[in-house]
Amino acid sequence: MLTPTEKIWHNGHFIRWEDAKVHVLSHVVSYGSSVFEGIRCYSTALGPAIFRLSEHIRRLQDSAKVYRMEFAYSAGQLSEAILELIRVNKMGACYVKPVALRGYGDVGVNGIKNPIEIYIACWEWGKYLGEEALAEGVDVCVSSWNRMAPNTLPAMAKAGANYMNSQLIKMEAVANGYVEGIALDTAGYVSEGSGENIFVVRDGKIHTPPLGASVLPGITRDAIVTLARDNGIPVVETIVPREMLYIADEVFFSGTAAEITPIRSIDRITIGKGRRGPVTERLQTEFFGVINGTKPDRHGWLSPVYATAAVK
Ligand code: PMP
């Protein structure tokens, strides 16, 4: 369970955690009309620093645009609000969640006139799939649920409604004794986990499903592609048949919450040697190296909380 912090940002003001409430007849409650982000602030050599803040804000704006939601706040204002929120709550490493929702007003499906409420909360948070998962790997399954079909719910938007699909995937996986489920797209190709992108390694080459396979354009996914290329590891965005998962040398998840989590079995079939493989480990070293300051932040991914001039 999460521990409350003192303040939540709401439409330009800091309010008490307890006061961040919406009316039950708000549009979002019936229709899932929200867009949101999940962002990590790490404890780094530069003090608390946010990982890829500008990319998260951009994706939030993109998600909103798809759903015709207009924000009264610019990217710069939202970035500053996030940094200030962390300072106001005196947080170090934490998870930050901005959410924009259609609020109280009309009760019909068309919520275009309902007010857009933006909230940003932060709280302390550990490793998503467990501390051990990063080193040992996790046991997962292929879900019986598909990701959304193209032109139904847009997978590129990080919208609340999409997470009904994620819940089906996750709940089924957990009910069957797995940590997570991998969903296929409606063509039967590998898409992604309920809250993670997926990477498949075979013969030293990395494969990851393209955006057309109903995946969220993960910011960690992009970081991994960048780090792989920086390190001369070939990486391709290509359709991945289901059976490619089983015969892979390594498979891993990526995500803000999952970071880089190795997968050691899928549907009880052992992947590679049944533990974290060398490519996964190398990418973890690069990824955590940037965060820990043992590797240079070559791509300017960290925004220190206490040096606003460094915000991109
Ligand atoms: N896919 C889904 C469905 C997700 O919810 C997430 C988490 N935001 C991801 C992929 C990974 O994206 P990111 O690396 O930006 O956290």
Instruction: Kindly state whether residue 304 falls inside one of the protein's structural domains.
Output: no
Residue where one domain finishes, among candidates 86, 102, 126:
126
What is the distance between the alpha carbons of residues 135 and 262, in angstroms, rounded to a whole number? Answer: 7
Residue ranges of alpha helices (H) inside the chain are: 27-31, 53-66, 75-88, 133-136, 162-175, 219-230, 242-246, 278-292
The answer, yes or no, to whether any atom of ligand 1 lies below 6 A from the CB of 166, is: yes
The answer, yes or no, to whether any atom of ligand 1 lies below 6 A from the CB of 117, is: no
Instruction: Kindly state whether residue 58 falls inside one of the protein's structural domains.
Output: yes
**Burial per residue of 264-273, b for 16 or more beta-carbon CB atoms within 10 angstroms, e otherwise:** bbbeeeebbe
Instruction: Kindly state whether residue 150 falls inside one of the protein's structural domains.
Output: yes
Same domain, 236 and 271: yes
Determine the structural domain holding residue 270 and report its residue range: 133-276
Q: What is the pLDDT of residues 240-275, one digit of tens each?
A: 999 999 999 999 999 999 999 999 999 999 999 999
Question: Where residue 253 sits, what CATH number does that domain have?
Answer: 3.20.10.10
Whether 158 is catalytic: yes
Catalytic residue among 97, 158, 273, 312: 158
Which pTM does this prediction carry?
0.96
The answer, yes or no, to whether any atom of ligand 1 lies below 6 A from the CB of 197, is: yes
pLDDT, block means (10 residues), the chain with 312 residues: 93 98 98 98 93 98 98 98 98 96 97 98 78 91 98 98 98 98 98 98 98 98 98 98 98 96 98 97 97 93 80 48
The answer, yes or no, to whether any atom of ligand 1 lies below 6 A from the CB of 183, is: no
Instruction: For residue 221, give the ligand 1 atom closest to its CA.
Output: 14
Q: What DSSP string describes 238-270?
A: ---BHHHHHT-SEEEEEETTTEEEEEEEETTEE
For the chain, the domain total comes to: 2
Which among 158, 164, 222 is the best mutation to test ligand 1's pocket, defined by most ligand atoms within 8 Å of the CB?
A: 158
Residue where one domain finishes, among candidates 76, 94, 126:
126
The closest residue, in CA terms, to atom 12 on ligand 1 is 218
